[in-house]
Structure 1
């Protein structure tokens, strides 16, 4: 007969086995979950490390971009500042060295130490007694030799014909080219200088062309650098003829004082010949109003009005000026200072300027 205690223990073995198995399964599941959790934590820490590294990289990139932008902004500010300085210097140069208000002329250079300027080699042509400036030293006049000579000769012919009409043949005539540049017109009176003893003078506010003339024209030509102030270094009543091309066309300031100064140095009965912008020039510029060389130097008013609307109109400042007169207004105003003999329309194909011919009353 089986003992009751053994029988009870035998009855308990299957449940205990199941409990042990359940416990073991729970432990195994726990260990698996723990391993998975530890792996997840490790991955999260890895992701966090990567995120911190990416954040650091982005922060560094942002800092570099800010620094680059700062450098760009600084460069832009510096460029803008340099542009403003250059603009200011340009205005200063215009005010004090190009066409200044205080009597200076246009200098050879803007340096503290000035040296003899470098010019291109003068051009020698058969049949020409005097050398021509190199094309770069013609100061805006034609670079082609034949055109340069032809234009100067036609302008000289206007002066010569007016002398013939109003003075007649003259020995030893004293003639001044007012605004002579590098002798574009003055050179064409070389025959009269040699044959008739004419005394040839030139003055210009630009120092470079005067220096060129000193180097390449005979010493009998008296040339000098003038100023924008109404003053000439000539005695009273000392010149027979004063002519100028494209000078009073650019005198906005003190034009009347200049007329009085030119009258002072003319001999009684002497001639003054000067080109002017009148209605003809206004129409010419209006026709070419869309071209850069016109827009740079002229008022928008000229582009707007096909015909000159006012009796006179002066545009610009001290550096670049354009002076226009209606023909009858110019005749009336100039006759206050000199006897007006003629106001000629443009005399050749190169010109769109009228020529005022006056005489100093005796």
Structure 2
């Protein structure tokens, strides 16, 4: 307990030493491109993507192990998700002048966003991630550390698109408070693109999925996992610790439509990439 500060209770790595560990650029790892992480190459051809992004890739440790030693797949995963986002925005004619990526981590998505968004902002609860982005990616990307308290230091009606990949999957409290904060900062017509665990995730989960390894040690999950339906419309498996970011959360579509839909209009719900989450698209009317 002596090593836990009050900042650690609402953030992660509050006293982290700034580090810039990286493994070179995407072009250095072309040999790892096996097509396992596909993106729309008609929208952004490989060579164009490589020319546009000559910034470092974080080391496997710096990115918390995502994609293991395959640095190309990590880089491509951000491009894949970015293409899916842009295809939806363009198909719907949504404005995209400014982008905020909540839970930006080491910039997996926002490193690809400069072509379409004049203003790109990232934030993360983990100071180590924020510092890495600040030291390694483009200087025109604004990045800051947020906390688990639902507040963002941004003006009212200032953002066109908010993305949050695997963020609401871990918000054990205050999901609606966060949505009210997103409603405040979004411009009229602005879009929130959020990925969640929902009923399909619950039904189809297998031991091979990353979330399974986190849940199988939780006694409440073990007791409920054989049920074909979620125990509650909003089901929270929480680990009680002194730190933030200590839960896995599942939602039903009824909860999204009935509760979230009172705050922002529900425009779409469909399978995300990776396949074990759903994208929920909300709009400020």
TM-score (norm 2): 0.80
Aligned to 1:105: 11
1:340 deviates by: 0.8
Deviations 1:11-55 (CA, angstroms, capped at 9, x unpaired): xxxxxxxxxxxxxxxxxxxxxxxxxxxxxxxxxxxxxxxxxxxxx
Name the SS for the 1:161 alignment partner. Answer: helix
Matched, 1:295 2:216: yes
Deviations 1:156-180 (CA, angstroms, capped at 9, x unpaired): 122112211333465xx11000110
RMSD over aligned Cα, in angstroms? 2.5
Matched, 1:123 2:24: yes
For these two proteins, the number of residue pairs brought into alignment is 254
Aligned to 2:40: none
Q: Which runs of 5+ in 2 are unaligned?
A: 28-49
Considering fraction of residues, name the structure with more helix: 1
Considering fraction of residues, name the structure with more strand: 2
Q: Is the 8 A contact 1:331 1:343 kept in 2?
A: no
Deviations 1:210-256 (CA, angstroms, capped at 9, x unpaired): 00011011221000000111110100000000011000011011111
Aligned to 1:360: 284
Match of 1:152 among 78, 82, 88: 78
Q: Which runs of 5+ in 1 are unaligned?
A: 1-88
Aligned to 1:323: 249
Aligned to 1:276: 196
Tell me which structure has the larger Cα radius of gyration.
Answer: 1
Change over 3 Å in CA distance of 1:288–1:307 after alignment to 2: farther
Aligned to 2:31: none
Q: Is the 8 A contact 2:7 2:14 kept in 1?
A: no
Name the SS for the 1:322 alignment partner. Answer: strand
Change over 3 Å in CA distance of 1:319–1:199 after alignment to 2: closer
Q: Which has the higher contact order (CA 8 A, sep 6+)?
A: 2
1:296 deviates by: 3.9
1:333 deviates by: 1.1
Name the SS for the 1:136 alignment partner. Answer: coil
Name the SS for the 1:177 alignment partner. Answer: strand
Deviations 1:170-197 (CA, angstroms, capped at 9, x unpaired): 5xx110001100001111213325xxxx
